[in-house]
Structure 1
């Protein structure tokens, strides 16, 4: 249902979620996720954020559904929100919060893995929260390489505010991360002036333009190897960043890489150091859900 008041449009949506789903677990994760600090508003029961789809900046407020499962969402904007834009926003938010993720294979495999079953018991119903969009994660993967987290956040904020996707909701100013076409309008010198790092600006400049030629539908659902190969062609993206983008940006859970952070998380859960062969053996037990297994290890350890 659409209503208009002083030119502000509002659209109410219902976003279904595959059960089990625990929105409180999603909110807890978002509240502790350093890459998103200051971007979203969370309370015990609601999530508020800005997003941009089809050249429209919107504020979204999400709460547990009053009837049935899933979430209720109210979108607001300073101009009209047409049907395609509302549907694009619903798809973006559902993907961001993993609402359609099927946890049953993960949970079935966990029954044969007592240390991990204890993690499942604590996180039951938690669907992986990704970055709000894979393009945002692409940019973050470039910005956060080899710099402290506060520096990367400052660079990201400079990009966001320069583009100006600003909207107010409930007395708070919210900023939506730019669409790729918006960043593509900035040349390399402008990007370097904004973030203060010419090398990263060159990567952003090249990666943004190549992203415009990619089909997000293919990235979400295409052959994993082919998608990984395309991601690795993006400037500034190496093997670690590619895995980061595949899992945390696109929700591709079929494969997981081994690194020090994953090894530390596994050691905390399994109670002993986990070398790469053992990590691979454990991951193989989760088959197509091994990315979920690794994410649960990180969140639950």
Structure 2
């Protein structure tokens, strides 16, 4: 099978070790990749095919080995997916300059950490639906069953790497409710998949924030909280921040006192368009 070597450049500062640490502890994708010895190995869906990416880095130089990407268009799409997944273009110095006294130690601990997103915003949409009002273990099991049903597996060196199915694959399933074990969620997920096919990921990345949010809200099963979740963790749009209990606990840990939603919003105003990154750093530091 064809393999090719490539190099991407991350905006400095960049600490790939912190990216690997985050991936290793991110439960929605647990077991879907190999992380260790300074390397990330992960299967991705690109152009209707499953491709294996092996990623390592020295400073801002990010080395990528692709296996299974057939043709220049597939290679370019895979590299774009990796660059976006690892947020290599995020320039963080302006964000760091805003740090208040309580947050500055978090910046020091996470200096050079670029947010690791879901591997695609569509995967984030699907996870938002699968995990709504559902125990994490049940959602993880449903996601694994969905991957197994679509068979997006790449085997290398005796290890099987699963890739989350495309929206096209989910839209075409006639047994989705049986696969994930929930009729209501299957309806939302399949409806969202069909609607997703009419959207442009590029437009969602680049459109004015409120327009992108409105498009996400048009997806079945995606409400205000889920749309913000996808905007931050799937699209890297940092204009808003979550205010759920887990985030409140993370903020309380850093700021040394219990905070209500109003106080949290007041603290976030300092960070302007970086408030989503501020929130993510608070969570990632835990």
> What CA distance in whole angstroms lies between the structure 2 residues aligned with 1:277 and 1:153?
32
SS at match of 1:60: strand
Deviations 1:149-208 (A, max 9, x none): 121111111111111111112221111111111111113xx1001111101100011000
TM-score (norm 1): 0.92
- Which position in structure 1 is the counterpart of 2:146? 159
**What are the Cα deviations for residues 46-102 of structure 1, in whole angstroms up to 9, with x where unaligned?**
00000011122111111114xx7231010112xx62111111101111111111111
1:190-201 aligned at under 5 Å gives the runs: 190-201=175-186
Unaligned stretches of 5+ in structure 2?
A: none
Q: Deviating runs (4+, > 6 A) in structure 1?
A: none
Pairing partner for 2:259 from 266, 274, 284: 274
Partner of 1:115: 102
> Which residue is equivalent to 1:83?
72
Q: Structure 1: give runs of 5+ residues left out of the alignment.
A: 1-7
Tell me, yes or no, if the aligned pair for 1:21 and 1:70 is still in contact at 8 Å.
no
2:25 paired residue among 7, 32, 37: 32
Q: Where does residue 170 of structure 2 map in the other structure?
A: 183
Q: RMSD over aligned Cα, in angstroms?
A: 1.2
Q: Partner residue of 1:72? A: 63
Per-residue deviation, 1:256: 1.4
The CA deviation at 1:273 is 1.3
Q: TM-score, normalized by length of structure 2?
A: 0.97
Q: Write the distance in 1 (CA, Å) between the matches of 2:170 and 2:57.
A: 34
1:5 corresponds to which residue? none
Q: What residue is the counterpart of 1:137 in the other structure?
A: 124
1:170 aligns with 2:163: no
